[in-house]
Amino acid sequence: MADLSVVVDGLKLPNPFVIGSGPPGTNANVIGKAFDENWGGVICKTVSLDASKVVNVAPRYARMRAQGTKEVIGWQNIELISDRAFETWEDEFKKIKDKYPDRVLIASVMEECNKDAWVELIERCQDCGVDAFELNFSCPHGMPERKMGAAMGQDPELLEEVCGWVHGATKIPVWAKMTPNITHIVDPARASLRGGATGIAAINTILSVMGVNLETLRPEPTVEGYSVPGGYSCKAVRPIALRMVMELAQMMYGDGTAEGEL
């Protein structure tokens, strides 16, 4: 069989196929299934210390379908981060790493702008044996009122500071996940690298309103009459994502801006 193994940021992956943070990484059961299906790595659904502050609603998805074939080409969600207790995640991280020691488990994490909270979150995940971190600075609807997610990711100075806290708390790889909802994606990325992130992940979802229900004149999805712009993903956003990945790669490697000069 062909050898697809790769080393990324010091992480040895049996193949370069990694599941992004979201429903397929929502608990140990589905993460285990992904590894049984031979995925090289899984980034878990984003976790935080206090899940009681996270209230997920339903319905929280809306689809864009191609005319004719009805194939889903775009996907909008207003899903928040994981609403499962952090202690449950600690237990599951340990179980997954015990069962799949050679697979790469990346903890996606998000916290408020508080050094103690970030350091505690990083240290407790690290104690469970996760292989790397992805810092979720990017969820577009992820509790901006608490300056979390994209609200943090649109503020390069803050990102540099938070990445510095994380860098001080761990020696394993740390990837800062960028929001596309910003004019120049390289600015927060550069600040994250300066702060100590060892890699950049892109992109999270693009702020969107999928449509308007012509009967109720409410945007979709609507929950008990209320709505909020959600995050757009899937095939429809790939060209925009690739443009942003290109800009990041040019910043990091292509235009002579080596890491030391960020």
Ligand X SMILES: Cc1cc2nc3c(=O)[nH]c(=O)nc-3n(C[C@H](O)[C@H](O)[C@H](O)COP(=O)(O)O)c2cc1C
Residues tagged active-site: 139
Please state the closest distance from residue 82 (CB atom) to ligand X, in A: 7
Structure tokens at 87: 């202690």
Is 111 one of the binding residues for ligand X (CB under 6 A)? no
Is 234 one of the binding residues for ligand X (CB under 6 A)? yes
Alpha-carbon span 232 to 176, nearest angstrom: 20
Options 86-94, 131-139, 166-174, 248-256: segment touching ligand X (CB under 6 A): 131-139
Applying CB under 6 A, among 79, 92, 155, 160 the residue interacting with ligand X is 79
Is 151 one of the binding residues for ligand X (CB under 6 A)? no
Alpha-carbon span 258 to 119, nearest angstrom: 28
Is 139 one of the binding residues for ligand X (CB under 6 A)? yes
Is 133 one of the binding residues for ligand X (CB under 6 A)? no
Number of residues that bind ligand X (CB under 6 A): 20
- Dihedral sign for Cα atoms in the order 100, 102, 108, 114: positive
Is 179 one of the binding residues for ligand X (CB under 6 A)? no
Options 93-101, 215-223, 233-241, 246-254: segment touching ligand X (CB under 6 A): 233-241
Is 162 one of the binding residues for ligand X (CB under 6 A)? no
Q: Which of 104, 54, 62 is nearest to 81 (CA)?
A: 54
Applying CB under 6 A, among 39, 45, 135, 156 the residue interacting with ligand X is 45
Is 137 one of the binding residues for ligand X (CB under 6 A)? no
Is 20 one of the binding residues for ligand X (CB under 6 A)? yes
Residues 97 and 106: beta-carbon distance below 8 Å: no
Binding mask 182-221 for ligand X (x = CB under 6 A): ----------------------xx----------------
Q: Which amino acid is at 12?
A: K
Phi and psi at residue 175, to the nearest 5°: -110, 130
Is 22 one of the binding residues for ligand X (CB under 6 A)? yes
> For residues 61 and 257, which CB has a smaller minimum distance to ligand X in the complex?
61
Q: How far does Cα 188 stand from its chain's mean position?
A: 15
Is 227 one of the binding residues for ligand X (CB under 6 A)? no
> For residues 46 and 227, which CB has a smaller minimum distance to ligand X in the complex?
46
Alpha-carbon span 19 to 106, nearest angstrom: 10
> For residues 59 and 259, which CB has a smaller minimum distance to ligand X in the complex?
59
Alpha-carbon span 108 to 82, nearest angstrom: 10
- Beta strand segments in the chain, E: 6-8, 11-13, 18-19, 41-43, 61-65, 72-77, 104-109, 132-136, 174-177, 199-201, 206-208, 211-213, 218-220, 230-233
Is 181 one of the binding residues for ligand X (CB under 6 A)? no
Q: Which of 180, 175, 191 is nearest to 244 (CA)?
A: 180
The structure tokens 């693009």 sit at: 206
The footprint of ligand X (CB under 6 A) covers 20-23, 45-46, 75, 77, 79, 81, 108, 136, 138-139, 177, 204-205, 233-234, 237
